[in-house]
Structure 1
Amino acid sequence: MGDAIKGRGSTGYLPGRYEVSVSERIDDGWHHGRAENDEEIVEPLPRTQVREERARTIISRNQSPDIGFSQSINPYRGCEHGCSYCFARPSHAYLNLSPGLDFETKLSAKTNAAEQLRLELSKPGYRVSPIALGINTDAYQPIERKWRITRQLLEVLAETKHPVSLLTKNALIERDLDLLAPMARENLVHVAFSVTSLDNRLAAKLEPRASAPHRRIKAMRTLHEHGVPVGVMFAPVIPWVNDRELEAVLQAAREAGAGSAGYVLLRLPWEVAPLFRDWLQTHLPDRAEHVMSTIKQMRGGRDYDSTFGKRMSGEGAYAELLAHRFALARKRYGYPARDRWAGLDCGRFVPPRKPSPQAELF
C-alpha cells in the first residue's frame, strides 16, 4: 500500500469490505521531486482525530467458549497504539472507515461510558461476573491521558465493588494505582500486560505507539509491589518474528511479579491479513513468505481459521511445539497452575443507587 509512516502501524487506507466505492491515490508527476524553492516536498504525517460518541449500551456480552470472560467494556473505538496485527481492525469497516490508517487515527471516545455503566449495573436483573475492560481496543491507549474515560469507569466499578480485569500495553495504568490497589485488597481486580517482544526496535515497528517493552515490565513490577495481581500475555505469537522470545518474556514477567501467563497465536481475520502482509513486506521482506507459509500450516492452509478452540492456538506440528514450549516455560519459571484472575470476588457487589431528583438525604 505504501511506505512506512513514522509512528503508525499501517502504510495506507485499505478500504473496508462494506465500501460502496473505493478511491485510489495516483501520482500524476506534477509534484514529484522538488518544489520551485528547491525544497523537498514532504507529505504531512496523519494526525490523530477523536470524536465524541454517546453510547446507547456499554457492556458487551459474549458466549464464546474459548474466551475467559462473558462481559467486556471498550471505552474507545479504534486504537492509537497502531499494532499492525490487531484483530480488532475490521471493526472500523462497520463505521465506513478504513481498517488501515483510519483505525489508528480516527478514534471515537464514549464520553458517557461511566454514566451508562452506572445505569446498567443498577438494573434489577443484572448478574455479576468480572468485566474485562479494554479488550477490543486498549483502554489505556495514549488518548486516555486526556479523556480519562477508563478512570471514570474504574471509579464506578470501585464504588460498586464490581470485579474487573484489564489487559493493556501502556504504562499509563500506573496513574490509577489509587483505585487499583484498594480494589486488589478486596480481590476485585487483575491486570495483564501484553508483551509481544523485549526488543525495542521490533516493538516500535509492531506497536508504534504502545509503551516500550521495558516500561511495561516496569509498570508490571510497580503494580505488583502495590499489591495488584498482575499477569503477562505473550500475544500475538508470530512465527519467525517474535516466537523465539516466548521464554524470555515469561521469565522477565515472572521476575516482575507476574502470577499468570498466557499466549495467543497471530489472528488474521478479514482485512487484517492484507494489512499484515503489507507490514511484512515493508519491514521484514526477507522472511515475509516464510512467515505466511507457517501461519497457513497452522490455519488449515488459510490465512485464518475462526473455529472455536483453534483460533487462539492453531493446529499442526508448529502449534503443538509452541504449546509444549509454553507449558515448559510456565513450569520452569514457577507460574501457579491456576491463574489468579479466575478467582475474582463477585460477592461484594453493591448496585449503584439511581439518581434521585431530591438528591441524597442520608
Structure 2
Amino acid sequence: MKILIINPGSTTTKLAVYDNQETIFETKIDHAQDQEFQKKFSRPGSVLDQIEDRYQAIENLLQQNNIDQLDAVVGRGGMLPPIPSGTYQINNKMLDDLKNRPQANHASNLGAPLALKVAQKFNITNKAFIVDPVTTDEIEPKKKITGVAEIKRYAGWHALNQKAIAREYAKSIGKKYEDLNLIVAHFGGGSSFGAHKKGKTINVINAIPGEGPFTPERSGYLPSQQLVELCFSNKFTKEEILHKILGGGGLFSLLNTKDVYYLNVNYNSLDKNTKDIVDEMITGFARYICHIIPDFEGEPIDQIILTGGIAQWKLLTDRITQYLKQINIGVTVIPGEKELEALRDGTLRVLNGEEKAKEY
C-alpha cells in the first residue's frame, strides 16, 4: 500500500512515499533557504496562508517522482485541543478547529489540510489521517498549574519524534520504553523537552507558547513584565506580538536568519555578537534539560537523549554534553527525526486492521 507522508515544520516540509514500509522516495523542502518564501511568509499572519505554496511544491515533487496512485495520505497533527494518542481520520470539524480555534499558529496546523488536499486529488478522502498530534496530552494535571489562576499550561511538543526516539533508544539497549525514565530534548525551528517516566510523558517544556529557550524562530521564555509593557506600548498589534513569540522570534529576531546550517558552517568566522547569540541558544538548551529533572521526583533518570534536526550540529551536541557532565546522567545523540516513520506506522496499523481510526 502506497502512503504519502507530509510533515510540515516551521522551516521545512518533509515528504516521503512508502510502499508499506519500503521507501519509494523521501525528501525535504528547506523553506529557510527559499528567499521568496521567507519574504512572503516571515511576517505576522496565519500559517494556513502557506497552504497553496506548500501544496504546489508537494504536487511538483509527486509528479517528478511519477507518483500517480496512493492508498492513503497522512499529515502531521496540528495544534488541536488536547486529545489522546492515536490515528485520526481528517474531517471538517478538525479543519475548522485548526482554522478558527488553533491552540497556536504553528506549522503543524498545515498537516491535516495539506493531507486532505492531496487525498482529494487522488480520490481517497476517506484515507486521509493524522497521527499523535502536537497536542497529544499526557501531562500530569498538577504540572499545568501556573502562578496566574486564569492561565493553564498545555501540551505543544514534538510528540511523534520524542516517542519514536525514546522507543528506539530503549530497543537499542534491550529494554522497554515503559521501563525507563528518560529526558528527550528535540532541537528544531522550535524545541521541546519531555520528561518520559515509565512510558508516559508526565511533563513537557513546550515548543509553542513562549516556554523554554529561544530557538531559530521562537522567543522562548520572556520576562513577563517587559512583555506586558511591550503589548501595551501601542507599537505592535496582537498578531505582531504573537509573531515575535512564534515564527519571528529567536535567531530570526536577533540575527534576521533562521538558517542554522549557515551558522554551523561559518561558526568559527562569526563576529562576537553573532557568536554570543548562538552560544546562548545552545546554553539555553542545556539549561532547560536540567529544568525538568525535578519532575521525576527523585527517581533515577536512565538517559538524556538529544534529537531533532539541529542535533546534527556536532558543536551543539558536544557543548550540551559537556555542560551536563556534572549531573552524572548519560547523554545519547540520535540526530534527525523519526516522525515520517511514526506517521507511516500509525497509518499502516489502521490500513492493516490492527487499530481503528479514531473519530475527531
Q: TM-score, normalised by structure 1?
A: 0.28
Task: Flag the structure with larger Rg.
Answer: 1
Q: TM-score, normalised by structure 2?
A: 0.28
Structure with higher helix content: 2
